[in-house]
Chain A
């Protein structure tokens, strides 16, 4: 019989993690993500997994990297103020190519901001928050079911590409309860990191294969290798050579940007005949869908482009979907962030781009978006 539940997005995230094979969680209490930690503190011991509440957000991020190096799939969850702290070691996970998942249930900011209200103002932080050049994968679930499935996908992508993956949720999706049918075992394929096939003396822990991704041995398996946050060579040892450093950075970039077909995922809703396409993600996408329902009832041809993968940005898909539209409206719960990326990608296409921004902590109502679309058409 199907396992149907009526649970919060944060709880679905925790269950998705277990399903994906997560056996290590380190966290620190923070609203509005704490339910992820609370549920995993209950669930992980039942599957011989480890839950630990660390002394701070920085330590939690460090611990999941350590655990991943010791062979466990690992995760942490937080919100804006905690995410700011995790960035230090997020960069470390990028350069050392350690798979792990970071959940950011976005709330209002800056700083302490609006702890119990939603926002989508950490989109650029997700991309560029950690210093230095680094690729990142960030996924944006829009329902309780997707909190489950996108968490599974986050683990799969992190394992496939040896990279940290951010689940960029928001308070609307994290806290709302919704019907979810829990997938059966085997229903969603689970990816595990590739292991070295060579004997230890031949192992180069940072030498990419054809897909640019190096195989990864766990500590204790007999491959005694070095891991450092310094720029390093294929063997993992620090280097000064500018050329080698550049090569390493380019390979890390390529492993994401040359595998886009495995990473990009969008929902394209009623866009075929759409004159106006709304670009929105997460909680704002649900308001936008509601608006499209009303607009279509009134005969206005509106559609939705909703990225489930926001980083890397779905450039080609967006261009293709918007090729016939006259207008694009970017709806985001911030003062304008992803709109600049949309403008960059759609420039020279002759499409008019508008933004609808709000940082009040109140979700957009469908009717407010309907009004905005009508204004655009009456202009």
Chain B
């Protein structure tokens, strides 16, 4: 992979999108010797309203740190789906939550709906791990980093004692995307 790959993670505050971005960035930069940049919107948006976190991954130097020609959009709310699909490039991927996003609009992108929230609640028993379920799905679908390396970065980042739970959530996401 030579050129930049832009991932935008969008949804609402509290869905753990910043942590999700950090784990993707750490996987790429620490475990795969690539370059990565993560940034986020701050302010009132990050307190329960809209939330977004951008991750750029590249083998080359990364100049502009924000996503503007999105390769992969994760939309965990209808609002974020509506707002950010316009910035997805032709042929890009839009992964949305099939229960939280009720009317996914078709476009010049590959549309994938998965029950991320439902899986977090039903299989893992905690809605808050929706970010880690999403991580599994993103890695599986995009192939931008390997599943093994992501697992390493994930286990290093999550609080002690929650490793098994997070690992379970991660692989639930990987399976969903199969």
Alpha-carbon gap, A283 to B30, bound state (A) = 24
Alpha-carbon gap, A363 to B68, bound state (A) = 11
Residues in A with CB closer than 8 Å to B39 are: 172, 175-177
Interface residue stretch chosen among B58-66, B72-80, B91-99, B115-123: B58-66
Task: Report the minimum CB–CB distance from A367 to chain B (whole Å).
Answer: 7
Please encode chain A, from 104 to 123, with 1 for each CB lying within 8 Å of some chain B CB and 0 for all others. 00000000000111000000
A323 on the B face (CB < 8 A): no
Question: Considering the complex, which residues of chain A in the window 16-41 have a beta carbon less than 8 Å from any beta carbon of chain B?
Answer: 31-32
Interface residue stretch chosen among B21-29, B125-133, B140-148, B164-172: B21-29
Residues in A with CB closer than 8 Å to B68 are: 365-367
Interchain CB contact under 8 A, B42 and A116: yes
Residues in B with CB closer than 8 Å to A31 are: 42
Interchain CB contact under 8 A, B64 and A177: no
Q: In the complex where A32-B42, A177-B39, A179-B36 touch, is A289 in contact with B30 (Cβ < 8 A)?
A: no
Kindly identify which residue among A4, A175, A177, A366 contacts B42, using a CB–CB cutoff of 8 Å: A175
A178 on the B face (CB < 8 A): yes
B149 on the A face (CB < 8 A): no
Main secondary structure of the interface of B (DSSP, over half): mixed
Please encode chain B, from 19 to 60, with 1 for each CB lying within 8 Å of some chain A CB and 0 for all others. 001100110111000111111101100000000000000000
Interchain CB contact under 8 A, B38 and A6: yes
Interchain CB contact under 8 A, A363 and B66: yes
Interchain CB contact under 8 A, B64 and A365: yes
In the complex, residue of chain A having the shortest beta-carbon distance to the beta carbon of B65? A176
A49 on the B face (CB < 8 A): no
Residues in B with CB closer than 8 Å to A365 are: 64, 66, 68
| Chain B interface residue count, Cβ-Cβ cutoff 8 angstroms | 22
Task: Report the minimum CB–CB distance from B113 to chain A (whole Å).
Answer: 29
Interchain CB contact under 8 A, A287 and B64: yes
Q: In the complex where A6-B22, A6-B30 touch, is A175 in contact with B63 (Cβ < 8 A)?
A: no
Interchain CB contact under 8 A, B22 and A177: yes
Q: In the complex where A177-B37, A177-B38, A178-B36 touch, is A366 in contact with B64 (Cβ < 8 A)?
A: yes
Interchain CB contact under 8 A, B64 and A289: yes
Alpha-carbon gap, A159 to B168, bound state (A) = 53
Residues in A with CB closer than 8 Å to B30 are: 4-6, 179
Interchain CB contact under 8 A, B25 and A177: yes
Residues in A with CB closer than 8 Å to B63 are: 286-287, 289-290, 293, 366
Assign chain A's interface to a size class: 20 to 34
Please encode chain A, from 155 to 182, with 1 for each CB lying within 8 Å of some chain B CB and 0 for all others. 0000000000000000010011111000
Alpha-carbon gap, A31 to B44, bound state (A) = 13
Interchain CB contact under 8 A, B35 and A179: yes
Kindly identify which residue among A32, A116, A179 contacts B29, using a CB–CB cutoff of 8 Å: A179
Interchain CB contact under 8 A, B64 and A116: no
Residues in B with CB closer than 8 Å to A116 are: 42-43
Residues in B with CB closer than 8 Å to A176 are: 37-39, 65
Task: Report the minimum CB–CB distance from A33 to chain B (whole Å).
Answer: 13
In the complex, residue of chain B having the shortest beta-carbon distance to the beta carbon of A304? B63
Identify the interface centre among B22, B63, B66: most chain A CB within 10 Å of its CB: B63
Identify the interface centre among B22, B28, B39: most chain A CB within 10 Å of its CB: B39
Identify the interface centre among B26, B28, B65, B66: most chain A CB within 10 Å of its CB: B65
Interchain CB contact under 8 A, A286 and B29: no
In the complex, residue of chain A having the shortest beta-carbon distance to the beta carbon of B40? A175
Kindly identify which residue among A32, A175, A286 contacts B64, using a CB–CB cutoff of 8 Å: A286
Task: Report the minimum CB–CB distance from B95 to chain A (whole Å).
Answer: 22
In the complex, residue of chain A having the shortest beta-carbon distance to the beta carbon of B69? A367
User: Which of A's residues lie within 8 Å of B, judged by CB?
Assistant: 4-6, 31-32, 115-117, 172, 175-179, 283, 286-287, 289-290, 293, 363, 365-367
For this complex, 23 residue pairs linking A to B, each with C-beta atoms less than 8 Å apart, are: A5-B30, A6-B29, A6-B38, A116-B42, A117-B42, A172-B39, A176-B37, A176-B38, A177-B37, A178-B35, A179-B25, A179-B30, A179-B37, A283-B65, A286-B63, A286-B64, A287-B64, A289-B64, A290-B63, A363-B64, A365-B64, A365-B68, A366-B64
Known contacts A290-B64, A363-B65, then 6 further A-B pairs from the complex at CB < 8 Å, ordered by chain A residue? A6-B36, A117-B42, A177-B25, A287-B63, A289-B63, A365-B66
- Which 4 A-B residue pairings sit nearest by Cβ, starting from the closest? A179-B29, A290-B64, A289-B63, A116-B42
